[in-house]
Amino acid sequence: MALSVFSLVLMFAALICALLVLRHAFRQSIGTGVMALLIPFFIIYYAFAHFEHRQKGPILAGFFGASVAAVVLRALSLSI
């Protein structure tokens, strides 16, 4: 139960970080934002190559780290 709740919290944190990257992509252009939203793995390329923010490191760590940790914890909670 606790692993499921913690994985949901991590998923929410990853979603918030992803929304920050998407907001930046849509501010650059509508086409870039749509590509980041709809094309798989383009958001990863965009986050590392074009995303500029004074807190880029923590945002990307929250996005990728929380995503991976949430998936692992979710799988663990389902197997127990």
Whole-prediction pTM: 0.90
Q: Count the helix, strand and coil residues of the chain and give each as a percent rounded to the nearest 5.
A: 85, 0, 15
**Helix-then-strand count for the chain, H and E:** 4, 0
pLDDT by position in tens, the chain (length 80): 899 999 999 999 999 999 999 999 999 999 999 999 999 899 999 999 999 999 999 999 999 999 999 999 999 998 87
Domain ranges, ordered by start, for the chain: 2-79
- In whole angstroms, what is the distance from residue 28 CA to residue 2 CA? 40
Whole-angstrom CA distances from 77 to 35, 63, 72 are: 33, 21, 9
